[in-house]
Homo-oligomer: A and B are copies of this chain.
């Protein structure tokens, strides 16, 4: 059974294809009576416009592509919570593509381009700047969580160096000196700024000799592996993790090894995701206004789509959210801590 086309609707009503097209897109041109007939006929036939034909003819589309790396990371979900609604209200629909490797990212961008996406939101892309720039010149693009020097795309980043400093400072003020960092890996995304911020802060506090990095990734498993790696040398009194997932993976591993948090090792995460806020998790974390970032991204993307060509860039300020996963070292008395924590 062939699916109905504009012509089917047109001949059913007895008007031209053009008029049907106009009418179904909500444009003027038909009399009230004709309009009703057209809409009715389209409904009866179960007419659904063919996106391919439409996009081809109009050389445009109403789809925006969202590229993200990991569905398990609530970071992405939070950003999209802010992004989704305003885009939908503006008449766009969002199609999400998953790409957890740089090679996949590249082909994802080809897909987006090939679909003539009206816009794209790239969250924490690991691609080279050059690739992103090239893409950005043909598709209106907003990049989140990746610092770039190019002007072809808009950009929203957190001040990750500052965030890392806040984390180290918090631990320092609690009395920690041996503070290790579980870093996000080699991707040029958030990882490097957090790492740099960590190193800077450690130096500022005169803790050069305690500077230590392990891990390399943004997942639960990376957190666990990172702890193993750290413990092969000596046990730090505190860990600053590249994000909340890594922090949770670390706490889990510590727990399995019989070490408590914060009793034996304090742990601080990054992103302040919904789950870290759960009391049972109680993870101290660095908060970024994720939903707001998503909303801002929607606004910027719409502006780009509307023709703005100058680059827009925003740096969001992080802040510390203190919970139960960090405490002073030495004070190994669990009960003292528990009393205040729960």
Contacts from A to B (Cβ < 8 Å): 3, 46, 48-56, 61, 71-72, 74, 76-77, 80-81, 84, 88, 93-98, 104, 107-108, 110-111, 113-116, 134, 138, 220, 248, 251-252, 255-256, 260, 274-275, 278-282, 342
Contacts and interface: CB of A to CB of B under 8 A. Distances in A.
- Say how many copies of this protein the assembly contains: 2
Nearest to A283: B280
Per CB-CB distance, the 9 closest pairs between chain A and chain B, nearest first, are: A71-B77, A96-B96, A52-B55, A52-B56, A51-B114, A95-B95, A52-B52, A255-B279, A51-B115
Contacts of A54: 52, 114
Given A48-B114, A252-B278, A84 B98 contact: yes
Contacts of A72: 74, 77, 274
Contact of A52 (B48, B84, B115): B115
B114 A50 contact: yes
A140 to B, nearest CB: 15
A116 B81 CA distance: 27
Chain B CB within 10 Å, residue with most, of A274, A278, A281: A278
20 contacts: A48-B110, A50-B56, A50-B114, A51-B52, A51-B111, A51-B114, A51-B115, A51-B116, A52-B54, A52-B115, A71-B71, A71-B77, A72-B74, A93-B97, A94-B97, A251-B278, A252-B279, A252-B280, A255-B280, A278-B281
Given A50-B56, A52-B56, A248-B280, 11 more contacts: A49-B114, A51-B52, A51-B114, A52-B54, A71-B76, A71-B77, A72-B74, A94-B97, A255-B342, A280-B280, A280-B281
B71 A116 contact: no
A291 to B, nearest CB: 12
Contact of A96 (B98, B107, B111): B98
A248 B273 CA distance: 14
Contacts of A56: 50, 52-53, 56
Given A76-B71, A275-B275, A342-B255, A52 B93 contact: no
Chain B CB within 10 Å, residue with most, of A3, A72, A252: A72
A264 to B, nearest CB: 12
B93 A111 contact: yes
Contacts of A94: 97-98
A77 B220 CA distance: 14
Contact of A342 (B97, B115, B260, B274): B260
Contacts of A80: 71, 98
Contacts of A51: 52, 111, 114-116
Contacts of A95: 95-97
A134 B182 CA distance: 50
A44 to B, nearest CB: 14
A128 to B, nearest CB: 15
